[in-house]
Structures are given as structure tokens and as C-alpha cells.
Structure 1
Amino acid sequence: MTDQRNLVLAIALSIAILLGFQYFVPSAPQKPPPEAQKAGETTAPGQQAAPAQVPGTVPGAPIAPVITVRERAAVLAESPRVAIDGKRVAGSINLKGARIDDVVLKDYHVTVDKKSANITLFSPPGTEHPYYAEAGIAQTNGLKTPGPDTVWTADKQKLTSGDRVTLSWDNGEGQVFKRTIALDDNYMFTITQSVENKGAAPIAVTPYALVSRHGTPVTRGFYILHEGPIGVIGGSLQEPSYSDIAEAREKAVKSTGGWIGITDDYWLAALVPPQDAEVTASFKHFAGGAKKDIYQSDILAQTREVAPGASTESVVRLFAGAKETYTIDAYAEKLGIDRFDRAIDWGWFYWLTKPIFQAMHWLNGVLGNFGLAILALTVVIKLIFFPLAQTSYKAMSKMKILQPELMKLRERYKDDTQRINQEMMALYKKHKVNPAAGCLPIVVQIPVFFALYKVIFTTIEMRHAPFYGWIKDLSAPDPTSWINLFGLLPYDVPNLGPLYFFSLGVWPILMGISMFLQQKLNPQPADPVQAKMFMLMPIFFTFLLGSFAAGLVIYWTWNNLLSIAQQWTIMRRIPQPKTT
């Protein structure tokens, strides 16, 4: 009996530690420095930042002098641009440097309020948080290539979904450079670079592409969620943190195909080379002006020679948008991108997490609400584990019935621990009770719980997904609080800082009550100390889950209620054993 209680207690505490780890020991979010600057141009692949561009090397512009950060609209108005008006993205391409540095996501807003601002993914240098992508030709053997200040000529003023725009520039030395940028119906840009050599001598051309982010972004800081540089390069998934890259300065890997970029919780900017092309993929860190760090993910293609009168062409794709599961999967399948779906952090239980999401997504399509999908999926999970739970609850119910006899044994042989254990095992054998059977469902359901947690926490489909009543976002904590009697008192809840978990909402409290009721149906530990610890578990979990996503709390509450109904039914059907 004691061994079983210790096991259950260990499992419960393990869940608490694993769930609470991200709150009590979070990966420290790095905040951008308060100094404002116009971070200048980053280097192209293959070269560290230099105080000035040196002819004959891979192009890299110096960091621009520190100036006052300006409004985004003002910066965008400073240079000629080609407007982007896709079905799902808006923004512009900067003709100065031919950069994609202005991308806004049409379908996503900053808050649950549909009138709030749309999510801004890319912003140009000169704004507070520069973030952009570009493709180019590295400078080799004295070839005059377009740089960050080159002004290109466009063949049209707007890029729409299903269309393309071609940018052109003549270096005046016999070479004509073109960049054709196409946009599909979602978030994928296709950038085709061509160089025509009209000169008298052969030239060497080395294409590159990069995604650059100026300033260390404020991340959510959760251990279970990767935010930062990411990619499948050299045949393996790479997920270094911002601090890892800052410490290493550069990490370069030879790769055939794959992809590389920078990810946020719900958004991704990634470069996708042709999957049969050999490239050098790199993560880089540069110390920018005013101590503003610059992070870069880039690819450098192999150098090719272009004879006089000939031309060469290279293609790279840029994904700049939301990490929608089925959109990402469609790109992975259509373009053959190696493990592109891992841009979404499915976690250690990938084999379980993604199927659970797929089931929830299907149920949401049927029921029209992700909250109802969570409830329905919980029922399905309970049905799958029904035989196991049935055996477990029967054993636990018999254990509870035998509780008075066990207490008598402890009292009778209180000075003889060995005799107590012998008599307890004899009693279990007589009534065909397995004291460890009650632990098995808990152990089996731990991966399911964590997989569901990952789904609710990391998938963009759950972001701003409403339930009913006051739950407007299943991926956010219950917004109500006992401090103002759940909105009945006429004042808002103050910001409690690190003590935010004390602001309990309705659903966490309901979860705690359901956990307490379920615990009352289970056999109580004979040891008084263990009994008190078990009585505190509902309170502990109530406060722990008070700051968790409402969808997870709803799942746990509903799961507890189903378990209570199942266990109560079983207990009524088990005959009372004849004891002596």
C-alpha cells in the first residue's frame, strides 16, 4: 500500500515539476537593448561584418551609424517600392536593395479584437525592429554586383498572388542582373535570380539568400517552445537559441536541400533552396551598432562560371507567414521540403502530438468550436483507455473498501513493519486486488496530456480560438479572477507580476474542485503524512494551472468529471468483500 502511494505521489509530483518547469525555470527571454538605432546592412553569406566593403570579397555593407528610430510609415516612404497585395499578405518590396522588408499578415491580428492591428512580420532598417529577407549575388573576382544601395527598375508597381514582378539592373560593365519575385496564394515567395554576361570575359557567379533580424526579440521564454534560428540542414533538425548563435558567432553546415530561417511562436521566415542543390547553410550573429545584435540565417549556393554571351539562373523560395499546420504540410509535400513540418514545435511526442492536433482539427470542423473539439477528443481518449481504466478503477475501488481492514492491520502490528506488509499482501491476494493497478492509467496518459498541452500551446490554429462565455482565447489563461469576484466588482485585476498565478479564474477553480472530488473516491493513504500531502494536491494543481491555457484547464476538468462518473459507477457495482 505504501509503495503504491509513493508511486502515485511521485507521478503526480513529476507532472507538477514538468508542467511548472517552464514557469519556475524558464529559458531567459532576451530583451532588446533600449538604445534605438537604424541597424545597417548585414553581410552576405560567407563573410563576417566589416567596417567597410572590400572589393573582391563576398558583399557585406557596414553597420550604419546610430540614428533615431523612426515611424515605420516614414521609413517605408523614403525609398521607391513595389506594393505587395496578395491574398494573405500585404506590404512592399524595397527597390533600393531589392529587399522584401515589409510584410503584413492579413488574416492575423495582434489581439482577439478583429479591429486590432494586423501582425507585422517584416520591417525595414530604420524601424525599431528591422527584419527582412533578400537574395543576391556575392562579389567574386572583381565582378560588379548590386549592393544594398542599388536602385532597381521594376516592370510593374504591384505584386499580387499568382503573379510576378521582375526587377532589373545593369552594372554598366556588360552584366545584366534580374530578380523575378513571384507570390502564391499563401505565404511563399519564389525568387529567381539571373545574370546575363554580355562582356568579353567569363564571370563567376555565387548566389546567396538571407533572412536577417536586428535586435534580440522578446520571446515567450518557455522551455517547451523553440523560438529563434531553425532549420533542417545537413540532414538534421537544428534549433539553436539566440544565445547559442551569439556565443558561437557562426555555425555553417554543408547541406543538400533542406531549409533554414528564424521562427517565432506562431510566425516563420524561412529560405528553401532547391532540394537537390548543394548549399552552405549558416546561422550567424553580428554585433550591430549601439550593441544591437543581428541574427542571420542564410544559404550560399555553389559558384558557377558564365561564359561571354551566356546567362545563369538560380532559384530560392522564401516562406514568410503563419505556421499553419496544413499550409506547412502542403508545402512540404508539394515541394518535397525535408521535414518542413518541424517548423512547428511538436515536441518529443511528435508521433502523438501531431495526430492529436489532426483529430482536434477534424472535430473542430464537425462541431464548429475548438473547445467542443477538446471535450469530444477527451471522450474519445477515455474510450480508448476504457479497458485499462476499468481495471484500474475496479482495483482502486476494492482498495478503498479494504481501507478499514488495512487500518486494523496497521494498528495490530504497528511495531512490526515486516508483518504488516505480509498481512497486507495476504489480504490483497485473498480479495484479488492488485495495489499497483491504479497507477497504470496515470502513467499511460502522461504522454497524451503533454501532447495535448503542446497542441494548445504551440499551434496557431488554437491562437484566439474561442470557447463559450468569457473564454475568447483557448490558448490564453482564463481571464476572470477571484480578486474582483470574476468581474462582479467594478475594478480590473492589478498586474501581479511573478505572482500572476494567484489570480485564479473560474475554470482553474472548477478544475481544482473536480480533482478534489475525484480524490475523495480513491483510497486514502494509511500514512497520515501522505494523506495530508494528497489533500493538498488539488490546491497545488489549481494554482499551477491557474496561469495555463484555458483549453488545457477545460480538458483536465472535463477529464476529471468523466473519471468521477466512471469510477462512481464501478464502485456501486462492486460487492462489499466479506472481511474478518
Structure 2
Amino acid sequence: MENNRNYFIAIALSVLIVLAWQFLYMNPRMEAQQRAEEARQALQGDASQTASPESPGAQGTGKSSGNLPGGTAATQAPVTRDQALARSQRVQIETPALIGSINLNGARFDDLKLREYHETVDDKSPIITLFSPSETADGYFTELGYIPNASIGAAPSINTQWTVASGDKLTQQTPVTLSYTNEKGVTFTRTISIDDHYMLTVADRIENKTGAAVTLTPYGRVIRNTKPATPAVWVIHEGFIGVMGESGSLSENTYANIEKEQYTHEKATTGWFGITDKYWAASIVPPQTLPYVARFSHFTTGQASYQADYKGDDLTIQPGQSTELKNLVFAGAKEVPLISRYETDFAIPQFNRLIDWGWFYFITKPMFQLMDFFFRHVGNFGVAILLTTVVIKALFFPLASKQYASMANMKRMQPKMEELKAKHGDDRMALQQAMMALYKEEKINPIAGCWPILLQIPVFFALYKVIYVTIEMRHAPFFGWIQDLSAPDPTSLFNLFGLLPYDVPHFLMIGVWPLIMGVTMFVQMKMNPTPPDPTQAMIFTWMPVVFTFMLSSFPAGLVIYWAWNNTLSVTQQAIIMKRHGAKVELFDNLKGLFKRKPAESK
């Protein structure tokens, strides 16, 4: 029994270290970053000066990739978003999911808002802004163009002024066609179409009407001026991402890594790349038959910026001939069913990896699919979490049954173990041999009770990933005061759950659900006999209190899961232990808390 408890303590302390790191390091860091961002936005509101044009030759960290444009040069204060949008001619974009415009200067996608998502749980709050013009402090855009050589003259690039050939608004039903003819007579026709969500198709036709062959090089880039205001935590990747080449391996690079060293992927003919945030992403799918080299860079000339780009092989077009290229641009929310559909419909290799399922993706993704199945039937993700927990408990029931049966047998053998300890005294070798013989005789595996817990740890972290990462959980309500399962419980014991008119520090935000979780964990601990070792007894007594404080900053959905899982475990343990004739210690342990120790005789 003592060895068994040591395993439990080791597991609990390991989880405790992870939680402490999140609570003591990451949460204060996120709060500080958020305050800094609020101050920066306040200063940005006063900016009114203009920005200088972009520099196609800006150099980033590492070596540049030919003449590929890189970064922006902003030597003056950035302008506001409205000022930047008013500077250029634009074609409007309007779909059920997106609203924005295409900048005809460079044919850029630099103005996109997500109509279905708001900044807060309040439906009256502003909708999410994804793309903004490069002149703004939060510039973020996607651009497709060509690098010319001497034979072709000018080619569509960062400052090319396109004209509208057809279509006055880009909608799901109406594509837009742009055109540009350079000084030598080479004509570029760009047809842009969009689906009902976030996938843009950009089809270019290049006609060589000159009397000589022309050569040019296609490129595409996703570029943003700033990193996300809230730094990423360890559980999710934010930054550069892509699956490039036949191997299908995922490439992930953080902003910090690219600030130190540029990343260049070997030449590939398939794949995709881009920049991902927690819930949103922008990516380019280059022509899947044209060899290209992808690059992740950080540019510091003028306005610091981060860029994911590709450069294709040279294209030569003979006189009187034409060629066609098609790029896909994804810009929007990382909705799980939608991303999976794009992967299938557009044959994009492993596009589902745009969502960070983590190391346990073989558990995480099926778990989300199960929760999504329940959600589509009950209409509440909180209830879906409860039902998913029941399914998980049912799947682990055989292991749990063995765990509690082993604990019951260990309790039944406790008198014999005490006899062996009294018999062998301080001869630890003889005691161990005698106990092993007893285990063998009674067919008891002393560590059998640990395996179910070890196997459930990946399940716990997989559920954490699902709740923290998937956009479906963002602003998903439960009941009552829980209006966002992906955010912590907003109530606090220390202002009587909002009855007292003052705010409490973040580390004292111990809400109702963390308290419920702590109580259920305390009851679960009291289901077992009090450890004879005082240190172990103290750890088991205080562990629910520590976990209550630690999990108070975790998403409410995860805390609800843990509380409900504890409740099911208590019920399950009581039934199984009674079936094996073992005493359930809960009520005796609870009574012992209120009994006063007899006074010592004088």
C-alpha cells in the first residue's frame, strides 16, 4: 500500500509542477503583455502621420531569397486603419463569413473582418479584424505577385496598380477579374473567387503578346507587422507553420526562433504554409505542380515584420503563348469541420494540421469529434463535455475496476502486512521478500492501481487541448454565469461571487466551479484510508486546496470536466469496493475531521 501511495504522489506532484508553471509564470506574463498592448493601442489612436512606401529590397534575418519582396519600411508613425483604407482604390468583399476589400494597389488582401466572431462574449462587441493595411501598426496581409527579369519589363508586384475588368464586389456568387498590361504588352488577368467561408481562389492568366520569349518568377507572401498581443502558452503553437514537400512533415517555427535565424525549406512541389494564431490563420497554397522554395523570415528594416513566403521556379512564356497559375489563400477562423473539408475538397496535404492537436492528436481529434457529435444533438458544449466524460469513464471502466479491486485487495491484506512488519522488524530485505510472496499467494499486483491513472493523463491533456485550442469552444456558454467555456470561471469567493462591489486580484479569482472541483477532489481523497506517514497525510489533505487555486485560472470547461470526472470516480469507486467487500473509508474519514483528540493525562 505504501508503494502504491508513492506512485500516486509522484504522479500528482508531476502534474502539480506543470500547473504551478502555468499559474506562477505564464499567467503573470500574459497579464503584463496585455497591459502593454492596451497602452500601445492607446498611443496608436493618436497616430496621424503617413507611412513611407514599402521597400522590395528590405533585408531580413539571414540571407534574402533573390529579389523576393520582404518587410515594410515605415519610417514615420503608422496611420489609422480607416486612413489607410481611404488611400487606395478597392473592391469590396462581402460573404456570410467575411467583410472587407481588395487593395487594387498590389491586388492585396489587406482588409478582412470575420463577421461571425466578436472580440468578447457580447454580440454587440466589435467583430474580429484579421487583415489590416501595411501602413497601420497592426498591418497584416497576403500578397501574390511576380519577380520580373529584363525580358518582360514590369510585372505585378507590391506597387502595381491593377484595374477592374469585371465585377464590382467579390461575393460567393460573383467573382472579380483584375487586369494589368505592362509596357511591353504582357497582359496579366487575375480572377478572384471566394467560397462561403474563408478560402479564396486566385487564378492568373499571363499572355505574352510580344515578339520574344519572356521570363518571370511567381511569389506569394503572408506578412504581419506585429506578433500577437498575448504571447502563446506552452500548450499551443502560434507563429509560422506549413506542410511542404512529399514527406508531409509539419514545420513549426515560433516568432522568437525566426527572429534569430531565417528558415528556408528545401524545394517542394506540394504543400502549404502561413502564419497561425490560436483561433485564426492566414496561409497560401501555391500551385501544386510548380516547384517552389518556402521561407520564414523576420525583417527589421523600417517597420519590423514577420513574413512567410514562397518563390517559384522561373516561368518562360513563348511569343503568342499564355500560361495559367492558381493559388489558394486561406484567411479566417480555424473551424475544425471546415479545415477538414478544405483538405479533402482542394486536396491540400495535411491541412488539418493547421489546428494544433498536439502530440496526442490521435486522442485529441477523436475526442473533439465525440464532443462535437454530442454538441450537435444537445446544443451545449458544456453538456457535451459531461457526456464525453461519461463515455471516457465507460471506456476506462475495465481498468478502473482493476484499479479499485486492487485497492480493495490491498486493504483486505492490510492486517497480514502489519503482521509481516512486526515479524521482520528492521530487516527490509526479508520484509520485501515476504510481502512479494504474499502478493503472489493472494494474486495481487501492487502497482495495478497506477496504470489507469497513467493512461488517463494523456486523455486529460488531450481534453485540455480541445477546450483550449478549438475555436468551437471560444465563447461557448454553459449555464448560468459560465458564458465562455474556454475562459476561467469569472466569479470569486473573495468578493462573495460578485455580491461585494470590488474586484479581486487575479490569483484570488477562485470561482464556483474551482470550488466544486476542490470539494469533489477532497471527497475522492477521503475515500481511502488516511496514510500512516504524516508527510503523505499532509500532502493528500492539502492537495485539493492547492489544485483549487491552480485550476482556477484554467478554462472553465476543463474544471467542469474535472469536477464531473471526480464525481463519477467517487461513485464508481464506492460501488466497486463494496462489491469486493472492502470498506469505504469516506464517512469515517469525514467524521474523524470533527473529532477532537483526547487530552493527554497529566
Give the TM-score normalised by the residue count of structure 1.
0.91
Amino acid at match of 1:109: H
SS at match of 1:105: strand
Q: 1:509 aligns with which of 512, 515, 521?
A: 515
Give the 3 Å change call, closer, same or farther, for CA 41–253 of structure 1 in structure 2.
farther
2:594 counterpart residue number: none
Identity of aligned residues (%): 48
Find 1:259's aligned residue among 259, 272, 290. Answer: 272
Deviates more, 1:409-418 or 1:533-542: 409-418
Residue of 397, 404, 407 corresponding to 1:386: 397
Q: Which of 147, 152, 156 is residue 162 of structure 2 equivalent to?
A: 152
Q: How far apart, in 2, do the equivalents of 1:477 and 1:39 lie?
A: 40
Deviation at 1:25, TM superposition (A): 5.4
Partner of residue 260 from structure 2, selected from 222, 238, 247: 247
Query: Which of 540, 543, 555 is the aligned partner of 2:546?
Result: 540
Find the partner of 2:69 among 60, 64, 77. 60
- Supply the distance in 2 between the matched residues of 1:327 and 1:61 (Cα, whole angstroms): 31
Alignment of 1:186 onto 2:197 = yes
Deviating more after overlay: 274-283 vs 261-270: 274-283
The 2-side partners of 1:549 and 1:385 are apart by 24
Q: Does 1:553 align with 2:562?
A: no
Aligned residues: 563
**Which amino acid in structure 2 is aligned with residue 17 of structure 1?**
I
CA contact (8 A) 1:395 1:437 kept: yes
SS at match of 2:329: strand
Q: Which moved more, 1:159-168 or 1:369-378?
A: 159-168
Deviation string 1:288-333 (CA, Å, 9 cap, x unpaired) is 32xx421111122221111222222211000000000010000101
Letter in 1 for 2:18: L
The one-letter code sitting in structure 2 at the alignment partner of 1:150 is T
Name 1:133's counterpart in structure 2.
Answer: 142
Q: Is the 8 A contact 1:59 1:139 kept in 2?
A: no
SS of residue paired to 2:487: coil
Q: Shift of residue 63 of structure 1? A: 4.2
Contact kept, 8 Å, 2:270 with 2:288, in 1: the verdict is: yes
Q: Alpha-carbon deviation of 1:407?
A: 5.4
Q: 2:534 is matched with which residue? A: 528
Once residues 564 and 477 of structure 2 are traced to their aligned partners in structure 1, the CA distance between those partners, rounded to angstroms, is: 17
Shift of the 59–18 alpha-carbon distance from structure 1 to 2, 3 Å rule, reads: closer
Cα separation, 2, equivalents of 1:133 and 1:427: 70
Q: Between 320-329 and 212-221, report the one with greater CA deviation.
A: 212-221
CA distance in 2, matches of 1:253, 1:23: 40
SS in 2 for 1:230: strand
- Aligned-pair distance for 1:458? 0.2
Name the structure 1 match of 2:81.
72
Q: In structure 1, what is the equivalent of residue 15 of structure 2?
A: 15
Q: What is the SS of the residue equivalent to 2:362?
A: helix
In structure 2, the residue corresponding to 1:209 is in which secondary structure?
A: strand
**Conservation of the 8 A alpha-carbon contact between 2:208 and 2:320:** yes
Selected match of 1:471 from 482, 492, 498: 482
Q: Which runs of 5+ in 1 are unaligned?
A: 51-56
- Partners of 1:272 and 1:510 in 2: CA distance: 47
Q: CA 1:277–1:171 in 2, change beyond 3 Å: closer, same or farther? A: closer
CA distance change for structure 1 residues 13 and 39 in 2, over 3 Å: closer, same or farther?
farther
| 1:424 CA drift (Å) | 4.2
1:339 matched to 2:350? The reply is: yes
Is the contact between residue 72 and residue 304 of structure 2 (CA under 8 Å) also seen in structure 1?
Answer: no
- 2: distance between equivalents of 1:184 and 1:228? 26
Contact map agreement 1:413 1:420 (CA 8 A) in 2 = yes
Deviations 1:10-39 (A, max 9, x none): 111222233444445559878889696977
CA distance in 2, matches of 1:501, 1:449: 23
The amino acid across from 2:279 in the alignment is: Y
CA contact (8 A) 1:188 1:317 kept: yes
Question: What TM-score, normalized to structure 2?
Answer: 0.88
CA deviations on 1:123-149 (whole Å, 9 max, x unpaired) are 002222000001111121252123433
CA distance in structure 1 between the partners assigned to 2:324 and 2:489 by the alignment:
53
What is the CA distance between 1:179 and its match in structure 2? Answer: 1.7
Report how far residue 175 of structure 1 moved: 1.4
Gaps of 5+ in 2: 61-65, 584-602
Q: Say if 1:283 and 1:363 are closer, same or farther in 2 by CA, change over 3 A.
A: same
The residue aligned with 1:171 is 182
